[in-house]
Structure 1
Amino acid sequence: MASFKVGSKSEVFHLSGHTWLCSTGLKPDVMIQVQDQTFHLHKFPLLSRSGYLETLFSKASESTCVAQLHDIPGGPDTFLLVAKFCYGARIEITAENVVSLRCAAEYLQMSENYGDANLIYLTESFLNDNVFTNWDDSIKALESCEHKLIPLAEELHIVTRCISSLAIKASYAEDATTSWNGIQTKSTSGNWWFNDVSSSLDISMYKRFIKTIESRGVKAGIIAASVTHYAKRSLPLLGSSRHCGSSYSEEGTNHGDDGIYYSHEDQRSLLEEIVKLLPSEKCVTSIRFLLRLLRTSMVLRASAVTQENLERKIGVQLDEAALEDVLIPNMGNSAETLYDIDSFQRILDHFMLTCDSSCYNNVGEKQIMVDDHSLMPITKVASLIDGYLAEVASDENLKLSKFQALGALVPEDVRPMDDGIYRAIDIYIKAHPWLTKSEREQLCMLMNCQKLSLEASSHAAQNERLPLRVIVQVLFIEQMRLRTSISGWFFDTDSNNDDTSGKSHTLEGDSGNANMVMNETMKERVYELEKECTSMKQDLDKLVKTKEGRSFFSKLFGLRSKTKTSPGDEDGVRKE
């Protein structure tokens, strides 16, 4: 840390209680009171350096002049250094006291009109030559700007110059470097200054710093990373928001990394300012950090504008979110559901507004590929919705209309498979056994039975909670798939036989062996398909036996349902 020593005389001041005395041997003729301390001094040294004191004491008629300087910048400690300077005693100007000395010198009018190398000149030179050219000293100078110093320090542009010097170094030193035009910087990675500014600057200073480096063209990603670092250090509740639920008065959540106590009002105000500092560019701020901010804003009861801003930023990059992060507990006092469904739906609305319509409009099911990058964002969000619905479906207070609204937000074509939405529907029906048949059928319209995997289809065919119409549809689709598979195998067999007959006699032995192996494999596959077909027929027989099934198939095939059926008749029907 840089320093500058002024004066040559030894210590001439000593403290007696709350009174400072000067041991020059001359009787003091000036008494100056600064807050709770009194200084017994002499006119000549003071008046020869200070225009303010000269004007003040020139009007005094008493032999001993009394003055009160309670509002002098820096208080008694700074005035003691000023008095020593006037007497020519040794003082040391450092980054910690230069701002208060500069402000006090301005207050006392210690310009060059009252002696060469006066205090204004010396402090100003030290600021320009030492403080503003050094990162650590600029930080210390800003830290020394107490609340009482701010007005005069702002008027003298000390704060602005300190922030500008920091911004120059931060914007220039994104890469490893050691110096720039004589300005000392730290030779580490581009984020070396994050911890310094987050631990040293309050939110008002930090805002000005961020705005300055932004104006100098620093990348939005660097700014977002700095704001994230500042928030994690300054917002105690941000670290505990994932675990605090609806109760946010837990012990320890009001103390920051610096050990300072922050009330909820302070944290709410700080969070709202931090959200305003986040860059507007897409995907420069971590989606997980944004979701943590949103959760914390709900805990702190932040303004609706702040929460809406966060939801919009999250919606723009929702495809990067993880399921565990979007499961935000409902913080409302009259919360009906366990999770905040409304907030998640608003986030989805923002995503759908910003998502390129070309990603999913007029796209057929056969055109959708998992590796199609143009469809990846909305496909990921569709999978996220399915997982979210599966998590919230067991909530008895979740209304059917909200479940349907979330499930229908993305077009059907963007889901490569519908296993996820089927699982969510099954959980919802199980948790809400009072749903009517019509409501269950409406719910099942969210999924496409043709896009169920073999495992999901087998589960759905035996799921008694599903409407009968859906079960029959699943069985019919599986039967069509079975027929298609068998036809495909036989077609491949015929083609292989035709190709084999056209080959030369020298290759007949090898071809015959290959065909034998292929035929054996096909026989095994056909046997497996026959077993699956038999199983599906048995499931159909069980459905026909039920009263609901007989009524459904009677309407479906135009047959009358019989109240009694003999075993022989049933066998005859099965044989047919």
Structure 2
Amino acid sequence: MACMKLGSKPEAFHREGHTWMVQPPFNGCTSDNEVQKITTLTACDNLSEIILRVGFFCILMKLHHDLRFCTTGLPSDVAVEIGEMSFNLHKFPLLSRSGLLEKLIENCSNEDGSHCVLQLHELPGGAKAFELVTKFCYGVKIELTSLNIVSLRCAAEYLQMNENYGEGNLIAQTEGFLNEVFSNWVDSIKALGTCEVLPYAEDLHIVSRCIDSLAMKACADPTLFGWPVSGCTNVQSPAGVVLWNGISTVNKPQSVREDWWYGDVSFLSLPFYKRMMQAVELRGMKPERVAGSLIFYAKRYLPLMNRQSSFKDTNHVNPGTTIPTPSEADQRVLLEDIVDLLPNQKGVTSTKFLLRLLRTAMILHTSSLCRENLERRVGAQLDQAVLEDLLIPNMGYSVETLYDIDCVQRILDHFMSVENTAVATASPCIVEEGKLMDGPDFLTPVMLVANLVDGYLAEVAPDVNLKLPKFQSLAAAVPDYARPVNDSIYHAIDLYLKAHPWLIDSEREQICRLMNCQKLSLEASTHAAQNERLPLRVIVQVLFFEQLRLRTTVSGWFFVSDNLANSQDPNDNLGIPKTDGSHQVDPEQGHGAGVDDMRERVLELEKECLSMKQEIQKLVKMKRSWNIIPKMLVFRQKSQRCNSKKSRPCDVKTPLSSSYGHQNDEHGELGN
């Protein structure tokens, strides 16, 4: 800690326990070797006496309750009142050092020179600062520290203790010591903390100078200049440690982390902390470090942040420190200021922290502008969020749903607007350069958000108070191309139908339009074909697309088989004469294993196709819904054509099986 002693009487007094040691080296009441001890504990505990040797006078300072007396063998002729404290002093030592006291004493003194009373209730630093000023005026040594330097500097300026009233006056002395304080990180933090109760320090630019000094040190590397850093006192390796090659590690500096200053500045008040963050940002500090300090500060003074999440990072608040909990109004102001100070760059602040901040803002009922700002920030990087943090409880006064669906809807809409703008800006470049392979890279964030939204829908679907329009709006906000597989959205729809059994068929069909049956996996298609909660039209559509997929697969296998058969002898097709060589391979041996595997796969697909046909026939017999089967529509059209041609003879004889099938068609059954 920086320390300086001022005054012409350095050996005036010091204290040991309850005894003041007086050792004056002056010519006067005592000799140089004489030591006087006067105990401060008397019959009255409120009475203490301090004997000082100043010049040729013996000064007695008494403290009795709220009165201070100073006797030099001469009666007191001026009283200074500051708050509830009164100082009985002498005019000459005061007016010889202070311009303000000189004017006040001249105006107060009467013609007869009687005792005058001065009131300095607005003196910066109060009675403690004036006591040090008084000692300085009487020539008593005072100790300057980082905790009293600001109050002394303000008091000296207020009392006009400049060089016109003596060389080396208090203003010059305190100003020189302030420069030493600003060169030290720890002392600057302590000095800035004392400025919070001294508004006069703003007029003297002490606060701005101190903040600039701290910002400069926070942006620079402390190991380069050797600044004392709190929490990093052990910056050297222990002595006596020798490496295997004989090189000693004595006085080897250790690296200092970039967040070394977070804890120190977190003890500043909010106004000073805001100015500190603005100063480091102007000096070009990385946005990640600024955001880290803001996160540290928020976790220290917002208990709801620590209660709702366990941030597994290195910037944790020491649980041993006892910090008074701010009021709800102070927390609201603090949260709004932190949101304004957060860097605007995407990805600098974690989405997890932003969502926790948004949840806390809803609990504290911050301004709508603050919540909208947080929603935009979360929406810009929604692809980095996790489902656990997106489940924001509904904090509205009219609680309908368990979770705040509207908030997530606004966040999702903002993400889609930003993503659509980015894709629209990048697409012309892709088309121009012909790099179509780079297109899917732009869809990756959308796909992540689609999975996140589908998981969120599955969590909120069991809520019986969730209305169908809200569910549809949230699910439809994600484009179809963002869901390569629709299993997740199908799962959410199934949960919603299960929790809302009172939905009519039209509403069920409406919600099922949110999924694409062609993008269901085999497991999801099998489950959907047996799901009684789905409308019949959707079930048949699922079976139809699955059968179509099966046919495509079988056709692909046969196409591969034909290509293998045609490529058995490529030399004949190319007209290249065969050469006798020892490395010729039998084509049947090369493709025999592949053909066998293909046949087994075809048999499996035929079995699956047969089982699906049986399921379709069962559904058709149960519902008698022939108008949805395309084959029956084609068959009826053929029968109508034959009836229209009865006027002319038919050249083709109708087989018996066709007439049988035609008769069964009248009864609604499939004959062939």
Calculate the TM-score normalised by the size of structure 2: 0.76
Aligned length: 548
Q: Does 1:44 align with 2:92?
A: yes
Deviation at 1:410, TM superposition (A): 2.2
Rounded to whole Å, the distance in 2 between the matches of 1:451 and 1:299 is 41
Deviation at 1:241, TM superposition (A): 3.7
Matched position secondary structure for 2:452: helix
Whether the 8 Å contact between 1:50 and 1:114 is mirrored in structure 2 is: yes
Matched position secondary structure for 1:500: coil
Q: Structure 1 residues 554 and 374, CA, compared in 2 at 3 Å: closer, same or farther?
A: closer
Deviation at 1:575, TM superposition (A): 7.0
Whether the 8 Å contact between 1:231 and 1:271 is mirrored in structure 2 is: yes
Partner of 2:402: 338
Partner of 2:106: 58
Whether the 8 Å contact between 1:105 and 1:119 is mirrored in structure 2 is: yes
Partner of 1:6: 6
Deviation at 1:190, TM superposition (A): 2.3
Whether the 8 Å contact between 1:387 and 1:420 is mirrored in structure 2 is: yes
Rounded to whole Å, the distance in 2 between the matches of 1:556 and 1:167 is 82
Rounded to whole Å, the distance in 2 between the matches of 1:99 and 1:385 is 56
The residue type paired with residue 179 of structure 1 is F
Q: Does 1:534 align with 2:610?
A: yes
Q: Does 1:268 align with 2:332?
A: yes
Deviation at 1:548, TM superposition (A): 6.1
User: Which deviates further from its counterpart, 13-22 or 462-471?
Assistant: 13-22
Q: Does 1:259 align with 2:323?
A: yes
2:273 to 206, 221, 225: 206
Q: Structure 1 residues 370 and 235, CA, compared in 2 at 3 Å: closer, same or farther?
A: farther
Partner of 1:376: 444
Rounded to whole Å, the distance in 2 between the matches of 1:440 and 1:507 is 65
2:186 to 129, 132, 136: 136
Deviation at 1:281, TM superposition (A): 2.0
Q: Does 1:230 align with 2:230?
A: no
1:218 to 262, 285, 302: 285
The residue type paired with residue 486 of structure 1 is V
Structure ID, larger Rg: 2
Q: Structure 1 residues 539 and 381, CA, compared in 2 at 3 Å: closer, same or farther?
A: same
The residue type paired with residue 40 of structure 1 is N
Partner of 1:472: 540
Q: Does 1:359 align with 2:407?
A: no
Q: Does 1:179 align with 2:225?
A: yes
Partner of 1:246: none
Partner of 2:595: 519
Partner of 1:564: none
1:284 to 339, 344, 348: 348
Rounded to whole Å, the distance in 1 between the matches of 2:328 and 2:374 is 19
Partner of 1:167: 215
Deviation at 1:518, TM superposition (A): 2.1
Rounded to whole Å, the distance in 2 between the matches of 1:156 and 1:46 is 23
* Identical columns (%): 55
Q: Structure 1 residues 390 and 256, CA, compared in 2 at 3 Å: closer, same or farther?
A: farther
Deviation at 1:359, TM superposition (A): 3.2
1:87 to 124, 135, 138: 138
Deviation at 1:549, TM superposition (A): 4.5
Matched position secondary structure for 1:410: coil
Matched position secondary structure for 1:177: helix
Whether the 8 Å contact between 1:242 and 1:295 is mirrored in structure 2 is: no
Partner of 2:260: 192
Q: Once the two structures are superposed, what CA deviation does each residue of 1:306-362 show, in whole Å capped at 9, x if it has no partner?
A: 101111111111111111111101011211011101111111111122114463889
Rounded to whole Å, the distance in 1 between the matches of 2:341 and 2:169 is 42
The residue type paired with residue 372 of structure 1 is P
Q: Once the two structures are superposed, what CA deviation does each residue of 1:521-561 show, in whole Å capped at 9, x if it has no partner?
A: 2232122212211221222122123236467559974899x
Q: Once the two structures are superposed, what CA deviation does each residue of 1:428-480 show, in whole Å capped at 9, x if it has no partner?
A: 11111111111111111111111111111111111111111111111111111
Rounded to whole Å, the distance in 2 between the matches of 1:73 and 1:358 is 57
Which is helix-richer, 1 or 2?
1
Partner of 2:314: none
Rounded to whole Å, the distance in 1 between the matches of 2:201 and 2:530 is 78
Q: Structure 1 residues 320 and 257, CA, compared in 2 at 3 Å: closer, same or farther?
A: farther
Whether the 8 Å contact between 2:518 and 2:545 is mirrored in structure 1 is: yes
Rounded to whole Å, the distance in 1 between the matches of 2:175 and 2:400 is 63
Q: Once the two structures are superposed, what CA deviation does each residue of 1:129-171 show, in whole Å capped at 9, x if it has no partner?
A: x111111111101111143x12x11000011111111111112
Matched position secondary structure for 1:21: strand
User: Which deviates further from its counterpart, 135-144 or 539-548?
Assistant: 539-548
Deviation at 1:89, TM superposition (A): 1.0
Q: Does 1:444 align with 2:494?
A: no
Q: Structure 1 residues 43 and 475, CA, compared in 2 at 3 Å: closer, same or farther?
A: same
Deviation at 1:30, TM superposition (A): 2.0
Structure 2 unaligned blocks of 5 or more: 14-51, 53-60, 233-254, 311-318, 572-577, 637-662
Q: Structure 1 residues 491 and 558, CA, compared in 2 at 3 Å: closer, same or farther?
A: closer
User: Which deviates further from its counterpart, 343-352 or 546-555?
Assistant: 546-555
Q: Does 1:314 align with 2:378?
A: yes
Q: Once the two structures are superposed, what CA deviation does each residue of 1:367-389 show, in whole Å capped at 9, x if it has no partner?
A: 99999322111121111111111
Whether the 8 Å contact between 2:626 and 2:632 is mirrored in structure 1 is: no
Whether the 8 Å contact between 1:168 and 1:213 is mirrored in structure 2 is: yes
Whether the 8 Å contact between 1:20 and 1:39 is mirrored in structure 2 is: yes
Matched position secondary structure for 1:546: helix
Rounded to whole Å, the distance in 2 between the matches of 1:138 and 1:303 is 35
Whether the 8 Å contact between 1:422 and 1:447 is mirrored in structure 2 is: yes
The residue type paired with residue 70 of structure 1 is H
The residue type paired with residue 553 of structure 2 is S
Partner of 2:195: 145
Rounded to whole Å, the distance in 1 between the matches of 2:173 and 2:259 is 34
Deviation at 1:110, TM superposition (A): 0.7
Deviation at 1:194, TM superposition (A): 1.2
Q: Does 1:156 align with 2:207?
A: no
Deviation at 1:54, TM superposition (A): 1.1
Partner of 2:243: none
Larger RCO (alpha carbons 8 Å, 6+ apart): 1
RMSD: 3.0
Whether the 8 Å contact between 2:77 and 2:115 is mirrored in structure 1 is: yes
Q: Structure 1 residues 165 and 305, CA, compared in 2 at 3 Å: closer, same or farther?
A: same
Rounded to whole Å, the distance in 1 between the matches of 2:5 and 2:453 is 68
Rounded to whole Å, the distance in 2 between the matches of 1:368 and 1:471 is 36
Rounded to whole Å, the distance in 1 between the matches of 2:628 and 2:320 is 66
Q: Once the two structures are superposed, what CA deviation does each residue of 1:466-505 show, in whole Å capped at 9, x if it has no partner?
A: 1111111111111111111112222222322333355889
Matched position secondary structure for 2:361: helix
Partner of 1:251: none
Q: Once the two structures are superposed, what CA deviation does each residue of 1:223-264 show, in whole Å capped at 9, x if it has no partner?
A: 222211111112111222459xxxxxxxxxxx9964213111
Q: Once the two structures are superposed, what CA deviation does each residue of 1:170-200 show, in whole Å capped at 9, x if it has no partner?
A: 1223xx63219xx77786122211111112x
Partner of 1:295: 359
Deviation at 1:516, TM superposition (A): 3.2
Matched position secondary structure for 2:502: coil
Deviation at 1:8, TM superposition (A): 4.1
